[in-house]
Structure 1
Amino acid sequence: MAARKTSTRLPRDYLGLLDTPVLHLRNPYLIAWWSVAFPGFGHLLLGKYFRGLVLVMWEFFINQYSKVNAGMVYSFMGDIETAKEVIDVKLLLLYMPVYFFGIWDSYRTAVDLNDEFKLSERENSPIRKYTIESIGINYLDKRSPVIAILWSLGVPSLGQIYQHRLLQGFFTLIWTIIVVYYSHFMEALVYLIQGDIERSTNVLDMQWLLFLPSFYFYTVYDAYINTVEINKLFDKEQSTFLTKNFQDLDFKILKGKVVE
């Protein structure tokens, strides 16, 4: 039985010095949900980094100046009149179309990339294992999903850096520092530990603080799911290599039995 020809038309991964995009199956509804939580996150999960980063920065800019987060806080407290006063309606009308576009586009892209993944599987597309250049090295390796989660729980972005996904990792780290600084989260945490709950509450900037939960839980989820998928890709590459170089061409398995 002749060996199946490997296609170079649909590669499964790209081992760059700044990131490791991987093609794999994704749940389009889950991707759309992350875009609901924070515009751009769905695209980042898909590896659409430029579009995702632009949407994330747009969300920070337009949300900060339209005061959507502050309006949400007051509405949760039942103070509807104050919520109406703080929100800039003119900017809000710019916010909504881009927000819904991010949800729709991430869902559509997830469906398309799932089709591309199925084609790459059918064509036995190649998997890159090493990238070595004068300024650095990146390689496909198995890593622990639990370790990735723990680092992300400690400081958002460290799970991505652990996977050698530096572009997204450092971008997330910078914005996490900005959000923590302007929300006064660390100050509030210190006062809370000291038992001064009133001062802890008063020092918080809720407009900035509402950015933090989405960032925090997104990095944990992203670190876990990408570690699992990179590990699957590593196993696939090892299996393909061993089959191609060490398995007899006449070797085949039928209904769970080895046929020689």
Structure 2
Amino acid sequence: MQRTTASKFPRRFTSITTGFDINQIWTRNPWVVAWWSAAFPGFGHLLLGYYTKGFVLIAWELFINTKVNLNEAMVFSFNGKFDAAKEALVPRWLLLYIPIYCYAIWDSYGKTIELNKHCLLAQSEPEPIKLFSMKGIGIALLDKRSPRRALIWSLIFPGLGHLYLQRLPIGTFIAASCIGISYYSHLAEAVVLVIRGSLEQARAVVDPEWFSFFPSMYCFAAYAAYVMAVEMNELYDREQCQYFRTDVQPPDYQLL
């Protein structure tokens, strides 16, 4: 009886559909995930679906980076002002920054390898894929989504592409982070000044330390939304294949 029960319920899953999110795993390149963690700690974990750990690492990066004055030092370095860059850094905070930064890269790389193995094993089992979920707080429907539209919405404003894909937690977090970064960097004011043709005023009003966060967040949101849309479509195709195989085709028909 135990063996029969175990055969009916797979040990591994590659996706979950709740009332406000569709989270899934798929095989990824560990070096790509590690690179995103190096670009901004937490991004690699968001790609893997470890939302809580990713949110914590991103919040820590925003906090500790401003304490270290790392972005300010980088701006000085890019302009050849190396002495000013050394003076800007705060050593007592820098020593706290380095270990967690390295951990984020190492952990995301290792987690990617583990999830790749899990994903391959799960695909060899008849894993259940939930198509629809409705709760009091929302509705989530696994359906075809356009990767191009997800990319375009993310380019218009980071986070919108993920909301289009029904990824409410990560979409809300990215959008809120970009709003905070835009506020403290005075990015919106600078954009208005650029539209008016006041380039010098726009350059003067922008806070380089906070603005340096925005390119990484912007590029990651676009990349992640596009990749998640592609993988979401593949998950939908797998669910359709399972449905037709188990509920539509005759039992004696051998599907190649």
TM-score (norm: length of structure 1): 0.93
What is the CA-CA distance between 1:195 and the residue it aligns to? 2.2
Match of 2:18 among 9, 16, 19: 16
Matched, 1:226 2:253: no
Aligned to 1:40: 42
What is the CA-CA distance between 1:220 and the residue it aligns to? 0.4
Matches within 5 A, 1:119-158: 119-158=121-160
1-structure distance, mates of 2:225, 2:98:
29
Aligned to 1:91: 93
1-structure distance, mates of 2:72, 2:137:
45
Match of 1:184 among 180, 183, 186: 186
Match of 1:31 among 30, 33, 52: 33
Match of 1:172 among 162, 166, 174: 174
What is the CA-CA distance between 1:9 and the residue it aligns to? 1.3
Match of 2:247 among 245, 254, 257: 245
Does the CA-based 8 Å contact 2:160-2:171 persist in structure 1? Answer: yes
What is the CA-CA distance between 1:11 and the residue it aligns to? 1.7
Partner deviation per Cα, 1:72-131 (whole Å, 9 max, x = no partner) = 000110001111111111111110110010000000000000000000011121111111
Matches within 5 A, 1:182-221: 182-221=184-223
Partner deviation per Cα, 1:144-202 (whole Å, 9 max, x = no partner) = 11111111011100001111111111111111011011111121122222222221111
2-structure distance, mates of 1:75, 1:67:
12
Aligned to 1:50: 52
SS class of match (1:42): helix
What is the CA-CA distance between 1:6 and the residue it aligns to? 5.6
Does the CA-based 8 Å contact 1:156-1:216 persist in structure 2? Answer: yes
SS class of match (2:15): coil
1-structure distance, mates of 2:29, 2:126:
22
- Aligned residue identity for 1:128: K
What is the CA-CA distance between 1:236 and the residue it aligns to? 0.4
Does the CA-based 8 Å contact 2:33-2:47 persist in structure 1? Answer: yes
Does the CA-based 8 Å contact 1:6-1:125 persist in structure 2? Answer: no
What is the CA-CA distance between 1:250 and the residue it aligns to? 3.0
TM-score (norm: length of structure 2): 0.94
1-structure distance, mates of 2:56, 2:153:
26
RMSD (Å), alpha carbons: 1.3
2-structure distance, mates of 1:156, 1:52:
16
Structure 2's unaligned 5+ residue stretches are 1-6
Q: What is the aligned length?
A: 250
Does the CA-based 8 Å contact 2:18-2:134 persist in structure 1? Answer: no
- Aligned residue identity for 1:179: I
- Aligned residue identity for 1:90: R
Does the CA-based 8 Å contact 1:72-1:83 persist in structure 2? Answer: yes
1-structure distance, mates of 2:18, 2:71:
36
Aligned to 1:257: none
2-structure distance, mates of 1:226, 1:193:
33
1-structure distance, mates of 2:137, 2:184:
35
2-structure distance, mates of 1:243, 1:237:
10
Does the CA-based 8 Å contact 2:159-2:221 persist in structure 1? Answer: yes
SS class of match (2:197): coil
1-structure distance, mates of 2:8, 2:22:
21
SS class of match (1:25): coil
